[in-house]
Amino acid sequence: MSAALGAFFMFTVMNVFAKLLSAHHSVVEIAFYRNLIACMPFLILVFGFGRRDILVIRSQPKLVGVRALIGSLSLVTTFTAFSLMPMADTTALLFASTLFVPVLGVFFLKEKVGPYRWAAVFIGFTGVVIMVRPTGDVYALGIAVAMIAALMHATLQIILRYLGRYEQPETVAFYFVVIGALLTALPMPFVAVRPALAEVPLLFGVGLSGAAAQWLLSLAFRHAPAATVTVFNYSGIVWATLFDWLVFGAIADGWTFIGAAIIVSATSFIARRESAARARRAT
């Protein structure tokens, strides 16, 4: 479980680096460096340790490419959301991705969703509405971007569920960072800004922390059930709130905590129900 906890901590660290860089750099540029630097561990595995099997796409090359495309857009959108809002608010809204998964699963994987999970989805989105500030004090653009990012995250989960039947997770992750680096390199001549010397560690930080998070998450899923690992995702709100205070001097308000608590409860319930459903299908 330490791997799962470490993974979601490193995802938060990556977003901290991205938020700091977004003050002077385009989110597309930040995503490019994140993908480029994250390629390095995979290249070491392939050419240093002979893991040529990582390069082999067994049967779903088009879907691997679609996953990389949506993943790249998702990364840019996520960094944009963090650049627009406090980390705790953005992190809590991104939890809504778990609420989208049952809906997308019905349409694309023909999965059955019972009344309890539909109720949890409705309650979870009530938490989102609460976070949208009934007082009228809203980050309208930031909320919209965060919800789009959450929908993309959910779409990626559906794609990964399907790809998991055919492809190695290392292969999918490798082509995600490689294709992502190529895609985000295209606009670089128009958006790139020469980084200051003090920003170089931040650029390496956003790439290495992202790579470390992916590796730790793969390790966690290898040694624990998916539903158990998913619960640790909610530690992200703790790390985000802490970094908001320590790095950015922002303190989350009561609406954030109330909405986040509702979203976390609903998504945790959905995760448990999906785990139970998978266990019944396996028996």
pLDDT digits (tens, 9 = 90+) for 21-35: 999 999 999 999 999
The radius of gyration of the chain from alpha carbons, rounded to an integer in Å, stands at: 19
At residue 215, the pLDDT reads: 75
Give how many domains the chain has, as a whole number: 1
Q: Which domain holds residue 42?
A: 2-282
**pLDDT tens string 44-55:** 989 998 889 988
At residue 169, the pLDDT reads: 78
- Using CA atoms, how far apart are residues 86 and 94, in angstroms rounded to an integer? 13
- Tally the residues of the chain: 283
**pLDDT tens string 263-273:** 777 767 766 66
At residue 17, the pLDDT reads: 95
Q: Which helix (H) or strand (E) holds 73?
A: helix 61-84
The answer to whether residues 266 and 117 touch, using CB atoms and an 8 Å cutoff, is: no
The answer to whether residues 88 and 252 touch, using CB atoms and an 8 Å cutoff, is: yes
Q: Describe the crossing of helices 2-21 and 200-223 by its angle, rounded to 10 degrees.
A: 160
Q: With a cut of 50, list the residues of the chain below it in pLDDT.
A: none
At residue 205, the pLDDT reads: 93
- Give the pTM: 0.80
- Provide the CA 198 distance to its chain's centre, in angstroms: 27
